[in-house]
Structure 1
Amino acid sequence: VWEADVDGAVNGVSVATAGMYTAAGTKKGGLYLFDRNGATLWKLTLGDNVYDVALSSGGTYLVAGSDDGCIYLYKNSGEQVWKKKINGNIYGVSISDDGSIIAVGKREFEVSAYDLQGNRLWNHKTPEQVLDVDVSPDGSVIVAGCSDGRVYVYDREGNLVWSYNIRMPVNGVSAAIYGSYIAAASDDAYTHILSEKTRAEILKVPSLAKVRGAALTVTGTNLAAASDDGTLKYYALPITYTPAPEATPEVQYPNQPTVPATAASAVLEISSAPSGALAYVDNVYKGTTPVIVTELTAGTHSVTVSLDGYSSYSTQVELSAGRTTSVSASLAPTAKTSPVTVVTVIAAAIGALLIFAVGRRDD
């Protein structure tokens, strides 16, 4: 789709919803933000190896971790929100879709969480180096992959909920919504798919070399994995996404009590056929349909509804203060994809960022 030259080897890359923005961090300390056409919006030099970057869903915020022992948070305008010195080498960063929680993994055996204001919410020691972290799209689960071969799963408050031993270093992790599925890229040349329901491995996806990174789509039904043989492979996984019980109201949408809008805000009711689809407002995840979104500002907002196996629905809606507006999405089924590799990309350039697909978290 596009190609952009940067100042050296790329350590980390992140893509916002629908490819609106792409961020990259380099070994020479470069931090880049590109628009959907590959134009450089801005470049900063942080002064040391930028090991990982992460964009919030709509690209509003960009977090970066550097070998200078600092976490950086920027707006997509390039304005620095804050810089926090935490000492040590930061190997992984991640941010929830709404930007409300940021996860950090350190070589010095630590995993931490911060809020949007830069306040540390919690910090835990791990037995070995934290090689990567990920926050589930809804922000409810934080996952850490460590050099001791374990995947550690924490809730938003920092409680260790469960862990799983792969027995080989975990180079990359990715969590689907609600932490329902977790992908762990490992030195054993496999990407291990773990299920929250069983808290165990349910699938191993083979590669020809050590797997360095993995990324699941929102529902966990698709996987991208990058390995040392120079390939990036995209898979349709033979698993089924089921919305979390607490995410779908027991009372069906038309009979659900309407939340009144206050005089200064607007309310948006989003439904779909079938229900249980992922709903986004202004590229920020708001829940599964049917869902009521409150405290919105008056004016034009974008609405996107998506469900695995169906075409996505997108529209613009005009909201008025003190009023409730409804959006109903009729989703059309798409052709089923066979659970095999559908894309293979051979990495052929050093010092260049190649973008072949967009939407890291989009199904």
Structure 2
Amino acid sequence: MYSSPAVANGKVFVGSEDCKIYCLDEDTGNLIWSYEIGNWVHSSPAVANGKVFVGSCDDKIYCLDEDTGNLIWSYVTGGSVFSSPAVANGKVFVGSNDGKIYCLDEDTGNLVWSYKTGRDVYSSPAVANGKVFVGSWDNKIYCLDEDTGNLVWSHETGGWVRSSPAVADGMVFVGSGGRKIYCFGAKSTPPICHIQVLSTPSGANIYLDDRYEGTTPKTLADVSAGSYTIRLEKSGYNDYTEAVYVSAGVTTSVSATLSATHTPTPIVTPTVTQGTGSIYICSTPSGASIYLDNVYEGTTPKTISGVSLGHHTIRVEESGYGDYTKTVRVSAGWTPSVSASLSATPTPTPTATPIFTTSEEPAATATSRETVTPSSKNLPISITPIILFCLAVAAIAIIIVLVGRSRKRGTSTPTTKRAPPPESAPPPESTPQSAPTSPPEPEPIPPSDFTPRPTTPSTFPPELAHLYSDPVYAGKGGFARVFRAKRNTDNKTVAVKIPISLDEGTGRSFLREITSWQRLNHENIITLYDANILPIPYLEIEYADAGSLDQMNKPIDVDTASEIILRIADGLAYSHAQGVIHRDLKPMNVLLTEDLTPKISDWGLSKIIAESKTSSIYGFSPLYGSPEQISPKKFGKPDGRTDIYQLGVIFYELLTGRTPFEGDDLVEVSTAIATEEPAPPSSINPEAEVIDSIILKCLAKRKEDRYQNVRELQNDLASTLKAQLKESLRMSVSEHNMKRSAFYCAEICLIHARLGEIDDVMMYLTDMQNYASVEMKTEVTELLEELERRKGMSSKEKISEEFVGRLKGVLHQVRMGG
């Protein structure tokens, strides 16, 4: 209920979102009468001379009899009426979201006058001394003549004026969205100023302090004295900006000659598509692999064209050298350069000593093998442990087989040494080959014959060729290299993760931890389809086609960030109920589908990394680590509340573009996490103020001071998000934007459903019928009918998972433009 009650003559009058105005007995609260209107009533009633005046979201102002509630008259404005009427001297004054202030005859409802402001009028007028004072969403407060509606004066504030002015002692007091309260002299008349704006050529867009004012030539009237910034924009010309000071009663002129933008020479700067740019990457040495936001783009030197505007991460990799990573900003029409000087990584001293020797193959063959396959020092360090591990297994298997044969025969079997091939033997003649086909699934390989085939980091392991086709390297993280591939059995696109390194410690925990992930089945969790350690260790998981949160341009708006976090929390609440915590939540581990559904990945992998004897990587990412992960002795062991902390860090980054604690090295970051308090997100992004308390509670140092479970966080965030969405819904309704109104209704329905608020779900579904497209109305009607049929059931049964799923389907269709 947004309407404020009015009390008069022993009665209480108030509007409601059930589309009614109520009159109640002041002493008992008994209903005297109610009057049903065509939409929500957010306006507060005004009572005068035996009448009740109130506005509605159906674009009307109503006049009702105070005693009976009978309609006396109504007047149709051009937009929703959130403003509360003011009654004085036989006239009714009220604002509307069509940007106008209306003056109506109190007895007949006939229009006396109206005045058009620059934006919606939510402010309720104040009437005093023959003048009407009212604020507007165009950042101004207006003073109008009560009888004629002529402008007496207007004054610019630092933000939208939604509050209602108060008039006392010849002064006008009003609040502004710019976080200031203003006091003006009601009797004084601030002089009106003008700015004349001209340009060559004409037709340029005019922006006054970043607010669009039309095109040149134009005179901007009713400008208050003060300093302003004028910006002119025209396609094909450079922007023109000028700071001007407007003096009282003077017309200030701005005359701009626009210069044409320089057309880049194709030889110097590659042609780019509108809205994209290019990046030039070179390296020393050249020939290194280039990854743009973890997507392979070729080798250095190279110019990558068609890159979306904004920040991107470039990674340059070369075998035997350390990776080079840099974040660059891409703007339209110019090409930033990335020059990577790669540092060689230490390599072990090569030795000709064979890993194992048997009587069937002399030690000398180790040298001949080096001439056929790449030497171990040319292999990526990340792959060598896997090869050594597999060779060791093969050696043990061969010894077992040989001992078994000896025992079976009762005596040792002499062996014959194979002669090495002659050094001068000519290579075999090449023979025509048929067109390549998908390799058939190989027969099982006995351990004695198995030799793993090494690959470069961006090459798909040939040992898995019989399982997958069309592999494309997608990048690597702390645990694995990732490929997008098609599963041969059904042609389904999946992601295949190949662990970078496994040792004795990680080998024991690999399948144990992966088992926990495999039993998680939730729409906000990446599905693990398969995992195995033969022929090589790998994971087959669900493929998310829109990258990860790490690749999303940040900061983003509060509504979008809140929705993403709420849906990630859905997945966490489910996993915690299964007894599974993540421990390493970070943007890279939250993948996105095309409709921006977040899905949590890499369950249990943090623990596998932590148990590795050879890895120097923590079992979590330091920038997203919690105090208890940094200092378990001081803050206790990690638990489910650790995930809540890390989710808070992600929320913080989505809204501000940075993590709460940053530093030049690991020690500095860890110290800050354990000892310092984070700055409120709103200190970086003022729009995040409504979410500050939620994020800071997630980031509390002590686990006991955080949300104690994910459901607590969900309820708090959902309530806040619900209030924000209702405000957005009111705005979209006032702007007659049916598609956005349907979207917000669906979002609000979904949140109410998550909270189990049945009546609210039904109310907003009913409202959604007014905004949805013809196709969607049928689906919405079916959902309402389904709830009606379930009346009498428990709340949990009414809002079943199946029903929520259908509601999400409706939301998805609305989001996609249905």
TM-score, structure 1 length as denominator?
0.46
Report 1 or 2 for greater relative contact order, CA contacts < 8 Å, sequence distance ≥ 6.
1
Structure having the higher helix fraction is 2
Larger Rg: 2
Structure having the higher strand fraction is 1
